[in-house]
Structure 1
Amino acid sequence: MSHVTTHVLDTALGRPAAGVPVRLERPASHNAGADGHTGSRTVIASGATDDDGRARDLGPDRLAEGSYRLVFDTAHYFARTGQQGFYPEVAVAFELADEEAHYHVPLLLSPFGYATYRGS
């Protein structure tokens, strides 16, 4: 299983959000500023959520400690499902502090809002 996984639920439709393109990124430079942003990122992996809204195979089994982010192409998903969304993209930045722990980052999505948390 990937070190980082995600699960997207469409709270407006009350079902898993299948087919959401998602990519896992890391700052391209390890000399990033205090906020971890350099303006340039390296894509580690990309894919899309399955019929259950999950991306289980997103990148390697192990990642180094550091800053990462998941970027969800919500514009693609909303267009495919006939919804008009306000956020064309959702980027969730997080710190991977334990190289041995699994990181699950779910996204609760609706056309005019989203929420995320560290899952299990």
Structure 2
Amino acid sequence: MPSVTTHILDLVHGRPAAEVSVCVYFIQSETKKEKLNELKTNQDGRVDEPLVRGADFKQGEYELLYNVGEYFGQKGVQAGEPPFLTKVSVRVALSAAEAHYHIPLLISPWGYQVYRGS
């Protein structure tokens, strides 16, 4: 069964990023996207259930939108005024209907890295 999950690591504090809001959208066109789900990460920096799974999975382009500015603001991390990063948008094209896609995100208030995990 296809699924999409994520995991966020806070590089400033050296631990998983808990309570980060993550929205996932299916990109229908450059001007239209469909919101599929919104979850918060748990204490391990992971979502408790897949962002997309089973019948909700469609081949195509997805956007994961991570609310990192709010997260670092709640942690008291000064990242400028206004903060340099407010939201991190990750757009990926997913094709295999039988695949599991895990998308880890490493964050700081000034940068991020994303990759396809296992």
> How does 1:16-95 map onto structure 2 within 5 Å?
16-27=16-27, 29=28, 32=29, 38-57=30-49, 58-62=51-55, 63-85=57-79, 86-95=84-93
Stretches of 4+ aligned residues off by more than 6 angstroms:
none
- Post-superposition shift, 1:97? 1.2
Measured on the aligned residues, the alpha-carbon RMSD in Å equals 1.6
Q: How many residues align?
A: 112
Which is worse superposed, 8-17 or 73-82?
73-82
Q: Deviations over 1:15-38 (max 9, x none)?
A: 0000000011012x3xx3xxxxx2
Unpaired stretches in structure 1, ≥5 consecutive residues: 33-37
Matched AA of 1:106: P
Q: Deviations over 1:67-94 (max 9, x none)?
A: 0011001111011111134210000000
Structure with the bigger percentage of strand:
2
Tell me, in whole angstroms, the C-alpha distance in 2 between the residues paired with 1:13 and 1:50: 16
Tell me, in whole angstroms, the C-alpha distance in 2 between the residues paired with 1:71 and 1:55: 13
Matched AA of 2:10: D
Question: TM-score if structure 2 supplies the norm length?
Answer: 0.88
Matched AA of 2:109: P
**2:69, 2:109 within 8 Å by CA — same for their partners in 1?**
no
**1:2, 1:56 within 8 Å by CA — same for their partners in 2?**
no
Structure 2 equivalent of residue 102 of structure 1: 100
- Post-superposition shift, 1:51? 0.3
Tell me, in whole angstroms, the C-alpha distance in 1 between the residues paired with 2:2 and 2:10: 23
- Post-superposition shift, 1:64? 1.3
Tell me, in whole angstroms, the C-alpha distance in 1 between the residues paired with 2:63 and 2:8: 15
Question: TM-score if structure 1 supplies the norm length?
Answer: 0.86
- Post-superposition shift, 1:56? 3.7
Partner SS state of residue 86, structure 2: coil
